[in-house]
Amino acid sequence: MEESYRQLIELLLPAGMLEYFEITNTTKDSKGINIFMEEKNIIPSEYKDQPLHSKGFLPEIQVQDFPIRGQKVALCIKRRRWEVVHTGKIVTRNWTLVRSGARMTTEFGLFLKGIFG
pLDDT tens string 69-117: 999 999 998 989 999 999 999 998 865 544 455 555 667 666 555 544 4
- pLDDT score of 114: 58
**H/E element holding 112?**
helix 106-116
More confident of the two residues 27 and 103:
27
DSSP codes of every residue in 77-111: EE-EEEEETTT--EE------BPTTSSBBHHHHHH
The C-alpha torsion from 45 through 48 and 52 to 55, rounded to 10°, is 10
Q: How many residues are present in the chain? A: 117
Neighbours of 56 (CB within 10 A): 9
